[in-house]
Structure formats: structure tokens, C-alpha cells
Amino acid sequence: MRFLLVFTLLGLSLAPAAANPVRPETLGSAAAIEAAVDRLLARMTLKEKIGQLHFPSLAFPHEPQIEAVRRGEIGAMLNVVDPRYIKAFAAAARESRLGIPMLYAIDAIYALKITFPPPLAWAATWRPDLAELAAYDVAREARALGVNWTFAPMVDVSRDPRWGRVIEGAGEDAFLASAFSAARVKGYRRGGLATSVKHFVGYGAPEGGRDYTGTEISTPELLDRYLPPFKAALDAGSETVMASFNTINGVPVTMNRALVTDLLKKRLGFDGFVTSDFVAIGELVAHGVARDLEEASVLAFKAGIDFDMASGGYDLYLARAVADGRIKVGAIDDAVRRVLRVKYRLGLFDQTEADFANLPRPVDDAAVRRSAREVARESFVMLKNDKAALPLTAATGRIALIGSSADSAQHDHSWWGPSGHQKPETETLRAALEHRMRPGQTLEYAPAFADPCGREFKDKDAAIAVAKRADVVVYNVIEDCEIQGEGVSRTKLGLSGQQKTMLDALAQTGKPIVLVVETGRPLVLAEASQQADAILIAWHPGTEGRTALAEVLTGEVAPSGKLPMTFPRAEGQIPMSYNVLPTGRPWTGSRYTTGYVDEKQTPLYPFGHGLTYTTFAYDKIVLSEPKMPVKGTIDVDVTVRNTGSRAGAEVVQLYTRQLVASRSRPVKELRAFEKITLKPGEARTVRFRLKAQDLGFHNDAGRFLVEAAPYTVMAGGSSDTALLADFVVTRD
Ligand code: NOJ
């Protein structure tokens, strides 16, 4: 209830989302859709209405479910990716009394036929346009199967790499996450899918990094850190929203009316529908807030959860709750209206048998591969590169390639496994490098491990011998495929399996080491960073990823990714992010100041960090005005120069800090960024427009404030910024 009072005060930044655009192939206008929905609702029985509000768990054979669809009792299915079944469900829906079309949902996120790098890597490109492209291609692959609803994008901001699901999001920063949230929604929708932005809300802040645990989030934190990417997704037209599993301040989101109805639907003006997460309504019993599934279902429905994902409770109990007055029929109508609205907006009522006739439709694999390659190339983050260990040039000589993952064609190290498609051919890193050897270069390979994830050794000594014979060692390590993603939290974030032991042995050889790390989350690489001369974070690069990796390692392409999440020095520093609040006692090195006695206060690699094969100088920062009114803007010109000898891309980043405020404000907050390419010696001035209204924040009462105050604006190639200037926001 606390939020109920609070959110009535929400201010400017949370104005209702723009009306969702209506697809051209649908009824034509929002008013026409509303009228069609009303006409249809008037003809529906209660049973048919409830049928639109849930899907069952996937069960084989599907025949009983197909029959239920024919009776008008199921309006959507999850994980049906076999076009034969989609055709059968669609036919049954057409044959039902009212012929209401179905939604077919899957987690089309980044891996169907062609596997892209995961969304955390998309964020590392700092190119929302590439995320849009990737989402578009994934959507096209899903659409080709007949799927029309994806459970994406996941936009949970998180500062905790122990939590395995950071792989699905855009990292720790609300501004970056919002840019990627909007881009992903646009891409999936352009590719023909309805989206479900998730997980609303706060799921990225689980206690101890343990998936599904509770969160404690203050009102300002909720509104300033966790909510903005959802707002961005709604503005981009996300048709549906998925509620999260977690509790916030003791109340599960699945029964949280203040969040789901008051904030999301009323305050943000969301008029699509809200689904629960998988069996989350049933889990209200385990949360200890409902006696049984019936009570849980009524609680969830009353909170504003329109759609029951696989708990079965709406199907079983909503009619009884209507009969005895616990739920009003008007509330059922509102939920059904939301579902039907989405179906009309998607143009599903316009579909005929012919639309399903030629499933699966062909997709231009070559085009999807090109996108996957481009995303991979731009996502790699070079954390360090001492003594120009990279790129591997003709002068490099003998290269030892170590690590079983380097010879593995397995490219879908994602637990959002590919569905419905046969896996495509992929090149191994070993093969991709071998093709690129120039005269004078040789490559000798040793797996070192028995499995692609480095769990068990195989011929460790042979690998060491190969390293000893070489001039440089390229060591490819991978975060074990089993230990990332949903439900996989870690307390230790070092290299998994035997891979660190192998690194220790390789370091003993004294050879320069290039560490290529495939991972879905920030790892703790403090010791490894002492042992390796160069570190390239390759994320899980996907079907085209190893080829892209070889391009970057050999210098055909320069790395240009930047970290979307802080890499800590030690697990004990977690949660860690760049945008913390200042403390009354900043670290001075002496006792009674903020910090750890046994570890440095800084991260190993900060948010926004990433090197390339050239260097950049930040020459100057110039403001158009020293003052800006609360409703005004100023321009910030940042001049960057390529000081190296080859062309390269740099992400110019702009941060601000409000120096004096009515509450403590973060030491830095990302406000703008742009990825630019500069030739050697070239300088460019990038102009950013800062709007005073974008610098505001929420107070404990949920009120949005933009205060007249002094600010600092900072610019650089990472959150460890290089330039700063001061300005003042004035009342008028
Ligand atoms: C549970 C996950 O939390 C959610 O993200 C996913 O969309 C559903 N399962 C359906 O697969």
C-alpha cells in the first residue's frame, strides 16, 4: 500500500507513455480497434473471456489443448515452435465459436537458428541501432515459425554479476539500459513480434545475487534506477509487460496492485496487458501470502495481472470468484479488453488460413549471419593490451592457441536454447585464425581440456609444451555454459573449472598471453589480469562470433566495445557500480573512511571502459552556456582526437553530477554517449544536448524534482572521465 500514496505524486519524468502505434495492416485507428474489441466482448461468455487470460504449461501431445482452443478456452500457447502444431492451433482457433486468433509465445531473445551474442554484449556495442538489428533478425526467425509474441526484452538493471541473468539485460546503468530497451522493442516489433518487456520490476536487485530472492528498493531507487527502461519500452510500443518473480519491500510484484495497476497501468498509461512470469501466481503460496492457488489467483488478478502464465489458477478459479463477487465482471472485461486490443494491434484478426500455409517461412540466413557478425565484432571489449600484444600481426611469429573452446563449434552457450530450427554451421576460432595466418606466422593448437568448457584437463603438458614453443599464447577460456542464465547464481566469479590452473601454468612459461574470455557476466579477473598481457572479453559471441573474434585478434577489425557493467576486483565488492552515492567519509587510505581494508576501493575495470588498437585524447569540453533554466538545455561540445596510428572507434561518454541537492546524488550519471570513428590524427567535436529536465530525480514521496543547483558535466572514454566543466541550473 505504501506505493499507492507515493505514486500519486509522480512527476514529469513519468508522464503517460505515447499511444502505442497501430500496425498498418490492422483496423486502421485506435478508435476502430476499441469499437471492435467492445463488439467482440459483448458476444463472449465468461468462459471464453477467461480463456483469453492464460496459457497452460506445455504438454504433449497437444491434442487436448487444441480441443480446448476449439472450445474458446485457451487464447495463447507457450513454446509451440513446431509449425505443424501452430497450424493446428490456428485452425482450431478459427473454428472456435468466435474465431479469436491465438498468441504463440517463446523466449525469442538472441538465439533461434543463428545465435547472436547475448543482450549484455549488445549493450557492450554501445550501438542501440545494432541491438535493433539483432532483435529484428531474431524476431524474423521466430515469425518464420509462426510465433508472434516474444518474452523480451529483459531490461532489468543490475549491479550484481553473481546474478546469472545479467546476461539478458543491458547492465548496470538506467540510461544505457533505456536506450537498449527502446531499440530492442523496436527491432522485435519490426520483425513481427509483440514484445513483453520484463521483468517488471526490480528483479535485477536480488538479495545476495540469488535468483528469485526478495529485493529492498526505496522509492527513488525504484523510479530512477529500475523503472526508466520499462518506460522506454512502453514508449517504443511494447504491447505487453511481464511481472517479475521477486518481492519488493516484502510484497511480491505478482500481487502488487500499487506497482502493477497504479504505477504501470494508471500512471504510465499502459493499455496493453500484463502477464505473470512462469507459474508465478502459484508461487504466491510459497511466498507465504496466499493459502492456496485460488487465493493466489484472486490476489494476482486484483493486483492487475491480466494473464496467468501456466499456473492454471485463472482457468480453475476466476469464474467462481466472479460468481461469489470476489471479482467483478468489469475487471475481467478490462483484462480481456487488453488482450484483445493487443491481438487487434498485431493484425491477428486479419490473418487467414493462407498466412499459416507455408510455415516455416524461409529466412535469409546470410543476412542474419551478417548482422550476427557485426554485433559480435562491435561487442568485444579489450580490457588491457600491454606491450601491444594485440593484434597478432605478421611480426607475431608463432602463435599457440590453447583451450578446447577454441576448437569447438558449439556456439549456443545460452540456456535460451535454439528452438524449432536446425543449428547452422559455424566456424571455430581455430579454423578462423588458421585462415588468417600470414607469411611468417604459424599457429599451433592444443585443447588442454577434455570438454569445451574447461572442466577437466586433457594433455595439459602438451598444451604447455605448445605454449613454450610459441612467441605468443592465445588462451581461450569460457564461462561454463551450465553456470549462467536463469537460476544460476555464483559466489565465485573466477574462471570456472580448471581454466585458472591452466592460466597459472601458462603464465609460468613467461610467454606473452592474450586471454580471450567468453562470458555472460562480469568475472573477477584480478589475478588473471596480472598474468595476461591482453584481455579480450568476447561474451558468448554466437554463430558468427568466432570468425569475428579472429578478425579482431588479427587486427582486420579493431575492438570497439565498452563495458556495460563494472568488472570488480573481488566478489566481496559486489554489488558494485560507477554511479554510487558519495559518502561522508571518502576513502583516504586511513581508518574510518569508506572502503575495504583488504582490497582496493576501485573496480578492476570500470563501467564504460574498453580499449582499441589506437588511442584517443580528450582535448576539451566547452559548454554553450554556464547556466541553464530548469526548462532549458545547454550544448556540451567534447573534442576527441585519435592520437594513434590507425583508425578506431571510440564511445564518447557524458556524465553529470548534481553537486548540491536536497538528497545525496550519485557521483556520476551517464547522460549521453556517441560512438564515433576517427582516422589517425583526426579530431572531432561531438555535440551533446543536455536538458535540465533529464537531470532530475525522485524523492521519497515519489515526486520528480529538477533542482536549481550547481552541476558538473564530465566526459571521457569510460566512467573514469577525462574532462569536466561546471554549470548551474537556475529557476528560470
Ligand atoms: C521464466 C523467466 O523468468 C522468464 O523470463 C521467461 O520469459 C519465462 N520463464 C518463460 O520462459
Please list the active-site residues: 277
Are 546 and 436 in contact, with CB atoms under 8 Å apart? no
pLDDT tens column, 13-40: 444 333 333 344 456 689 999 999 999 9
The reported pLDDT for the residue numbered 423 is 74
Provide mean pLDDT across the span 705-709.
98
Is the pLDDT at 6 greater than 50? The verdict is no
Superfamily of segment(s) 616-730: Immunoglobulins (2.60.40.10)
Predicted pLDDT at 1: 31
Q: φ and ψ at 623, to 5 degrees?
A: -100, 145
What pLDDT is stored for residue 419 in this prediction?
Answer: 54
Contact by Cβ (8 Å): 159, 165: no
- The 10s digit of each residue's pLDDT in 434-471 is 999 999 899 999 999 999 889 999 999 999 999 999 99
Q: Is the pLDDT of residue 68 over 50?
A: yes
CA 486 to ligand 1 center in whole angstroms:
8
Best residue for ligand 1 mutational test, from 78, 242, 414, 415 (most atoms within 8 Å of Cβ): 242
Q: Which of 272, 256, 194, 255 is nearest to 222 (CA)?
A: 256
Q: What is the mean pLDDT of the chain?
A: 93
Give yes or no for residue 211 CB within 6 A of ligand 1. no
Among the listed residues 609, 671, 611, 675, the one whose alpha carbon sits nearest the alpha carbon of residue 643: 611
* CA–CA gap between residue 158 and residue 602 (Å, rounded): 18
* Average pLDDT estimate for 388-406: 95
Residue 533 is classified by DSSP as S
CA separation for the pair 104, 87 (Å, rounded): 11
**CA-closest residue to ligand 1 atom 7:** 151
User: For cell 593448437, what's the residue?
Assistant: 445
**What number does CATH give the domain 367-562?**
3.40.50.1700
- Ligand 1, residue 203: give the atom nearest the CA: 3
CATH of the domain spanning 2-357, picked from 3.20.20.300, 2.160.10.10, 2.40.110.10, 3.30.1600.10: 3.20.20.300
Mean pLDDT, residues 685-696 taken together: 98
Distance CA 302, CA 280 (A): 15
pLDDT computed for residue 44 by the predictor = 98
pLDDT for 414 = 53
Average pLDDT of the residues in 233-249: 98
Compute and round to an integer the Cα radius of gyration of the chain.
26
**What contacts 591, CB < 8 A, 6 or more positions away?**
none
Q: What is the Cα–Cα distance from 203 to 243, expressed in whole angstroms?
A: 9
Q: What is the pLDDT of residue 421?
A: 59
Nearest to 138 by CA among 105, 161, 157, 115: 115
Segments of 510-560 assigned E as strands = 513-518, 534-537
- Spatial neighbors of 203 by CB under 8 A, at least 6 apart, are 156, 165, 215, 244, 245, 246
Point out the ligand 1 atom lying closest to the alpha carbon of residue 168: 5
Kindly give the distance from the C-alpha atom of residue 278 to the centroid of ligand 1, in angstroms, as a whole number: 6
Res 3: pLDDT: 36
Task: Report pLDDT digits (tens) over 103-156.
Answer: 999 999 998 889 999 999 999 999 999 999 999 999 999 999 999 999 999 999
Can you tell me the mean pLDDT for 602-616?
98
Amino acid present at 455: R
651 touches 665 (CB < 8 A): no
**202 close to 157: Cβ distance less than 8 angstroms:** no
**Which residues touch 415 (CB under 8 Å, ≥6 apart)?**
481, 484, 485, 486, 488
CB distance 149 to ligand 1 below 6 Å: no
Q: Is the CB of 301 inside a 6 Å radius of any atom of ligand 1?
A: no
Which three cell numbers, joined as nine digits, stand for 155? 531490461
- The pLDDT score that the predictor gives to residue 59 is 81
Q: What's the pLDDT band for 336 if we cut at 50, 70, 90?
A: very high
Cα of 279 from ligand 1 centre, angstroms = 9
Residue 720 and residue 606 in contact, taking contact as beta carbons nearer than 8 Å: yes
Distances (CA, A) of 254 to 7, 180, 204: 18, 25, 16
Query: The pTM is what?
Result: 0.96
- Please indicate whether residue 544, judged by its CB atom, sits closer than 6 Å to ligand 1: no
Question: Which atom of ligand 1 is nearest to 154's Cα?
Answer: 5
Q: Which residue has the higher pLDDT, 6 or 196?
A: 196
The stretch 173-196 carries a mean pLDDT of 98
For ligand 1, whether the C-beta of 107 sits within 6 Å is yes
CA of 152 to the centre of ligand 1 (A): 9
Any idea where the domains of the chain sit in the sequence?
Answer: 2-357, 367-562, 616-730
- pLDDT for res 524: 98
Torsion of CA 452, 458, 464, 469, to 10 degrees: -80
